Each structure stands twice: as C-alpha cells, then as structure tokens.
A and B are shown apart, each in its own frame.
Chain A
Amino acid sequence: QVQLQESGPGLVKPSQTLSLTCTVSGGSISSTSYYWSWIRQPAGKGLEWIGRIFTSGSTNYNPSLKSRVTISMDTSKNQFSLKLNSVTAADTAMYFCARDTVTGWFDPWGQGTLVTVSS
C-alpha cells in the first residue's frame, strides 16, 4: 500500500526558509487519481492545510499562507516538496504530507516531522 515519509531539517532559524520533502512509496505521484498535500499541526493544536500539488504541476495553496509557500514535485524520485519562507516561531509545528483524493479527503498520511523555528 502507499506510504509517505517526510524528511528535512528539524530546526530552522527565524526569517529563513523551511524545506521539507515527502517520499512516496508503493504508488506513483504521477497518478492522475490523486493530489498530494501538506498539512501542519502546532503542538497541542488542530490541523491546518497548507496546500497541494497535482502531477501536472498545478498547485493550490491555503490563502493564509499563499504568499510564503511553494510546493513542487520530482516525479523521477517520486517525491514532492514544501518550501515556506520567512518563517517565524508561529510556523513551529509537526508537518505531515498526505495523499489527497481528487474529492478532498486525505488518506494515507505520513508519520510527520517536527520543525522548530528558533535562533
């Protein structure tokens, strides 16, 4: 079955760029049946959808983060990536990648990776 695994630095300095990669196994991100999303969760808080990408390269972003977010994909590596620039402490969170059905629910999810923004 499809599995997703996030990777990237666990510590990012304020004002710098957060960069994460999600590696997909057991399925192809080139599938036209799915999108691929990033979602985050500050400690002890709820879930916030960040954005998604389709195999064509088209993207959708949460309007609240749109000015700072870029999601891209590398089909040769079966990976998609998140870049969030100008980070602050408010961006400290667990970051999850997930397969996004064309309808809009998420299944499955990666295990998540904790990113702390601190100097």
Chain B
Amino acid sequence: EIVMAQSPATLSVSPGERATLSCRATQSVNNNLAWYQQRPGQAPRLLIYGASTRATGIPARFSGSGSGTEFTLTISSLQSEDFAVYYCQQYYDWLQITFGQGTRLEI
C-alpha cells in the first residue's frame, strides 16, 4: 500500500497570506496525485489532479506542484472560504487508492 503523509497536520495562517501544504508518498506515484478541499459538514471537493491541473471552476490562487514522492499545494492569498481541511490522494496504484490524513488550515 502506498502511504500518503501530509504535513503539517494543522497550519495557522492569516487571510491574505500564502499557505503551503505538503504531501509525501512512500513510493513514486509519478504525477498521479489529486488534492481535495473539505469544508466542515461538506463532502470533499476536487481542487487539483495530475499533481498540477486545476479542476473546473477552481480559482487560480490554488496551485499544485511536484512529482514522484513530493507534492505541494499552494494557496497564494487566503480567502475566508479557504479555511478547511485539505487531502491529497494517489491514484498511481489504481487498485488501492489511498489518501493522506489531511491538513487543517485554520485562521
């Protein structure tokens, strides 16, 4: 099983600032990585796939980078609605999809 480790567990940032979230895989997943945002009481929402491609309707302040085992989600200027939990997911091992444990982005 490919284990996805996210850091930090919690990130405290002020509105308007930049947030950088990390995701590391225990083996290379090439660029087969997605990021999701989950607001309280809501389902996860796809932000990024292919490590760096924004999903439809996702604002340009969200960007993804990385390949292999190291990935980053950057939110360039935090808005109030961005404070949520963020998950990474690998789909390189398509028969055993795994998610990271999440990073909580708080004010």
> What residues of chain A have their CB less than 8 Å away from a CB belonging to chain B?
45-49, 60, 62-63, 96, 101, 103-112
Contact = CB atoms under 8 A, between A and B. Distances in A.
Ranked nearest first, the 6 interchain pairs of A and B with the lowest CB-CB distance are A104-B91, A109-B43, A107-B46, A49-B97, A105-B34, A47-B99
Nearest to B48: A105
B32 to A, nearest CB: 7
Main secondary structure of the interface of A (DSSP, over half): loop
Contacts of B45: 107-109
A111 B43 contact: yes
A96 B43 contact: yes
Say which size band chain B's interface belongs to: 20 to 34
A105 B87 contact: no
Main secondary structure of the interface of B (DSSP, over half): loop
Given A49-B97, A49-B99, A105 B46 contact: yes
Interface in B84-99: 87, 89, 91, 94-99
Contact of A109 (B44, B89, B99, B100): B44
A8 to B, nearest CB: 16
A112 B44 CA distance: 10
Nearest to A106: B46
Nearest to A51: B97
B48 to A, nearest CB: 9
B5 to A, nearest CB: 11
16 contacts: A47-B89, A47-B99, A49-B96, A49-B97, A60-B95, A62-B96, A104-B91, A104-B97, A105-B49, A105-B89, A107-B49, A108-B46, A109-B43, A109-B44, A110-B43, A111-B42
B46 A104 contact: no
